[in-house]
Chains A and B, each alone.
Chain A
Amino acid sequence: MKRFVVTLVLILPVLALGQGGGGRRQTEPVPEGPVPRAASGHPDLSGYWRDDGNANPHGNLGKDLPGFKLPFTPAGEAAHKYNVEHTIDPESLCLPGGLPREDVGDMGFQLIQSSTDTVFIYQYGTFRDVPVDGRKHTEDPDPAYFGEEIGTWDEDTFVIDSIAFKDSKTWADENADPHSDALHTVERWTRLDAGHLRLDLTVEDPKFYQVPVHYRRTWIAAPGRHTREQACSENNIDVSAGHLGFGPGPIRADGTRGYDDPSPLPPLPSKSNPAKTILPPGIQ
């Protein structure tokens, strides 16, 4: 039976990673103090950054728009319908989430800043490398999930300008909102203090969106954590057994992906009400 197991697929690794710190979200202290600086004099954005819990609805590129309503063009509307009805979540297939999807998810990431490169390391074993060496966009860059990314500093804000995105097997967010190969993202990353990193994101995609979309959120420094190895293609039985359905599943009224009214769980087993193991016919 086809199921929207995607949500489970996303949640399970987080639970496992949570042993490294995810469960401490509520009590984990927020580092205080001034913005640390690199030897170059720029703010040092390095560290593990966790979701602050306020970027609601998570996973929705239209978070900051009235009614979370994205300004689709007719082509964008058609592409959205196609994603919902005909595409499997690319991340469930171990494809990179790409931009802007990685910016709107609810998982933390590791940032490593050197004098020439800034690297974002994500869950699922994906990273992106942003060169920060004065180079410009090339004339005919190959399309990629993260695009061709160029980093610059605008005073204390780290700016990433990205073009040349793939236009197939890509979702712009968790909700299967689309983007085209005309996507252009500008990320402005500002470390407000020791504990907070803010993103101001502008998404332009004239093929699929009538006007640019703005998105803003903040992450919290979690110096005790780091990203862990995840071998996405190892035993990915949901893919190999063909159990994934198309699209993100239902989108709730609050703009997030998932079921509004899940069936209640059965009561926990106890001594008086022990768990029953039901075996398939023929198995003793």
Chain B
Amino acid sequence: MKLNLALAVICLVATVFAQDQINGSLTASEPTTPSKPAPRTPDGHADLGGFWKGDRKMKPGGNIGKDLPGFKLPLTPAGQAALQYNLTKTIDPESLCIPGGIPRHNASGLPFMILQTPKYVAFLYFYTYYRLIPVDGRKHTDDPDPSFFGEEIGRWEGDTLVVDSIAFKDEKVWIDENANPHSDQLHVVERWTRPDADHIHVDTLIEDPKFYTKPFTYQRTWLAGAPDQTLAEYACSENNIDKDHLSPGPGDILPDGTRGYATLDPLPPPIKPTAPVKP
């Protein structure tokens, strides 16, 4: 029997919730005391390192059209067709243990970690995915292999880490949680800043002339987690029993732009014990 993908999402959420119990909450609230200035690395750059968590006020989560009027993405006819294909023919790649890629991870509700060294910045995600961004003056190569995170090149512009990514896969990819598409023409420019010790911010420019009539932007701020929060191990392919039972598409998209069921059946009333449970 085919299950709707949302069930898989529930399973993932359940697992994530289990991790929540170990590592503290997955979302953060604004600090109540004034923030300290952003720390700096010994080489003088802003230090983006830390455990970063979303804010529940960020809505709609998982929608790359968050900052557009009516969340409406400027799809070309080819992009519209690709969206229809994703909705009706593709299973959520993350449910199949395939990397979410960029920009999807930036629209996700899950925390992430950054480790920064003078030559590389590493982003570590849930599901044990990572991306490793060289920040050593290199340029894009002539014919990079397509990948889920693209060929990513970092550079510093003052205190801003700019990550320029090209060479994306065009199959088994969703640009966000809602199955919006991207093509192999995707070009993403992320501008990461740390305004103070408690916040990290990204301004994202997304270009994809095959699927979108014009470039659009996505911005977001995350809050610092507790200093001892880390990502726990996550073996996505271990006992992934839903894999063969998933339907295509993200399920319903709610009027608020998020993925999920518009109406939920009410839960049955709690069971009242009729007799004491004997050990």
Contact = CB atoms under 8 A, between A and B. Distances in A.
Nearest to A236: B237
Nearest to B233: A144
A138 to B, nearest CB: 9
B233 A233 contact: no
B129 interface: yes
Interface stretch (A109-117, A179-187, A213-221): A109-117
A46 B117 contact: yes
A95 B115 contact: no
B261 to A, nearest CB: 27
A129 B134 CA distance: 19
B117 A127 contact: no
A238 to B, nearest CB: 13
A94 interface: yes
Interface stretch (B81-89, B224-232, B265-273): B224-232
B62 interface: no
B210 interface: no
B99 A231 contact: yes
Contact of B97 (A46, A94, A127): A94
Nearest to A96: B235
Interface in B219-245: 227-228, 230-233, 235-238
B98 A231 contact: yes
Given A144-B233, A145-B233, A231-B98, A226 B120 contact: yes
A121 B130 contact: yes
Given A145-B235, A233-B96, A116 B128 contact: no
B117 A146 contact: no
Given A96-B128, A131-B230, A234 B172 contact: yes
Nearest to B134: A226
A113 B117 contact: yes
B115 A125 contact: no
Contacts of A94: 97, 236-237
A169 interface: yes
Contacts of A198: none
Interface of B: 22, 41-42, 49, 96-99, 113, 115-117, 120, 122, 124, 128-132, 134, 147-149, 172, 227-228, 230-233, 235-238
Interface of A: 39, 46, 93-96, 110, 112-117, 119, 121, 125-129, 131, 133, 135, 142, 144-146, 169, 226-229, 231-234
5 contacts: A94-B236, A112-B120, A117-B115, A117-B230, A229-B99
